[in-house]
Amino acid sequence: MIVRLAAGLVLLVVTTASAADRFALIMGGAAVQDNHTGLIWEQTPGPDHMFWVNALTHCDTRAVGGRTGWRIPTKEELAGLVDTSRHDPALPGGHPFSNVKSAIYWTSTPSAKDPVLAWHVSFFSGEVATDGKHLNRRVWCVRSGDAK
């Protein structure tokens, strides 16, 4: 919302949707629709840790709620879930996800500076950084598009 103030000043007011408005359980509760981005997330990320290359295959072959077409999110997509005002986990209050560990989760985004690195998101702190692809990290799969 834009509010015009005296003397030609403009104030931009940004409001954030509550978790109840932003997220909706779909696919019989197996997935969560993010109404802000249109992405569909696993309601419960898997408990496994894996290398980056294995994470790519894991999501490609995953079926959640009877649906395939899952993938690892990009750096921007996964970081979009983070609420920087919260920690352990760094997710919006009232979110509908379960079993989200305050851990590091892989993204599909490789480092442009070093081919042995890829981007990850920490759901303890909300930090987005690179790490060695040879390290074991958690995976949270996402899919685009229609939930039908």
Report which of residues 87 and 5 the model is more confident about: 87
Could you give the 3-state DSSP secondary structure of residue 60? helix
Check residue 6 and give its pLDDT.
45
Which residues have a Cβ under 8 Å from the Cβ of 59 and sit 6 or more positions away?
70, 71, 72, 139, 141, 142
Q: Domain spans of the chain?
A: 2-143
To the question of domain 2-143 being in CATH 3.50.50, the answer is no
Mean pLDDT score, 33-62: 95
95 closest CA partner among 148, 17, 38: 17
Half-sphere exposure (Cβ direction) of 58: Cα atoms closer than 13 Å: 23
pLDDT digits (tens, 9 = 90+) for 59-96: 999 999 999 999 999 999 999 999 999 999 999 999 99
Check residue 17 and give its pLDDT.
60
The amino acid that residue 110 corresponds to is P
Q: What is the pTM of this model?
A: 0.84
Average pLDDT, the chain: 88
